[in-house]
Amino acid sequence: MSATSVATEAIVSLPVADLENDGLLGMFPDGPRLIGTRCDDCGRAMLGERVVCSSCVSTQVSRIALPTTGVLYSYTRLHVGADGVRPLGYVDLDDDVRTLADLREDTIPLVPGLRVELVVDGDAWFFAPVDRARDRKKEND
Ligand SMILES: [Zn+2]
C-alpha cells in the first residue's frame, strides 16, 4: 500500500479592501468636497474613495468630488447627554449618492425633500438648508 500525500492547507484569498481610507472630506480645486468614486465601466457614483465598484465589481474606478448640494431624504434628532440635540439624516446628493450626515437647522425647519448644502467648518462637515448654508458662507467671508 502506497501513501499519497493530501494537501490539507486551503488556499486563502484575501478580501479586497473596499474603502481606500476612512476620510470622506478632501480638498479639490474648488474647495473642500466629499470624496466619491465613479466606476469607469458602469458609471455608478459611490461615497468615499473605493477600489472596487459596489455595483459591477469593476476595479476601473476614478476619484471624484461629489456635489455639494442635495435633498434631505429623511432625518432624526438624537438626544445625546449634555450635547443637546443632534440632527442626523440621509442626504441624496445631486449625483444620486445617498450619505448619512450631521445636519444643522435654525430658522428653516428640516423636512424631507428640503434642499440642503454641504458646509465645511474646519475638519467638521454637515449639511444645512441651502439658504442657511449661504448665510454661513457670508459670515465666514
Ligand atoms: Zn461599476
Residue ranges and CATH numbers for the domains of the chain are 16-66 (no CATH), 67-141 (2.40.50.840)
pLDDT given for residue 135 in this prediction? 58
- Percent of all residues in the chain with a pLDDT value above 70, rounded to a whole number: 79
Ion ligand 1, residue ranges at CB < 5 A: 39, 41-42, 44, 53, 55-56, 58
Q: Which amino acid is at 43?
A: G
Cα separation, 9 vs 6, whole angstroms? 9
If you measure from the C-alpha of residue 53 to the centroid of ligand 1, how many angstroms do you get, rounded to a whole number? 5
Residue 1 has pLDDT above 60, yes or no: no
If you measure from the C-alpha of residue 42 to the centroid of ligand 1, how many angstroms do you get, rounded to a whole number? 4
If you measure from the C-alpha of residue 59 to the centroid of ligand 1, how many angstroms do you get, rounded to a whole number? 8
Cα separation, 69 vs 61, whole angstroms? 23
If you measure from the C-alpha of residue 31 to the centroid of ligand 1, how many angstroms do you get, rounded to a whole number? 27
53 vs 15, residue with greater confidence: 53
Say which DSSP state 66 is in.
P
Mean pLDDT, range 18-44, rounded to an integer? 86
If you measure from the C-alpha of residue 44 to the centroid of ligand 1, how many angstroms do you get, rounded to a whole number? 6
Say which residue the cell 475638519 belongs to: 123
If you measure from the C-alpha of residue 39 to the centroid of ligand 1, how many angstroms do you get, rounded to a whole number? 5
Mean pLDDT, range 49-56, rounded to an integer? 93
If you measure from the C-alpha of residue 95 to the centroid of ligand 1, how many angstroms do you get, rounded to a whole number? 15
Say which residue the cell 484575501 belongs to: 14
If you measure from the C-alpha of residue 60 to the centroid of ligand 1, how many angstroms do you get, rounded to a whole number? 8
Mean pLDDT, range 5-29, rounded to an integer? 71
Per-residue pLDDT tens digits for 85-99: 889 999 999 988 999
Mean pLDDT over each residue of the chain, to the nearest integer: 85
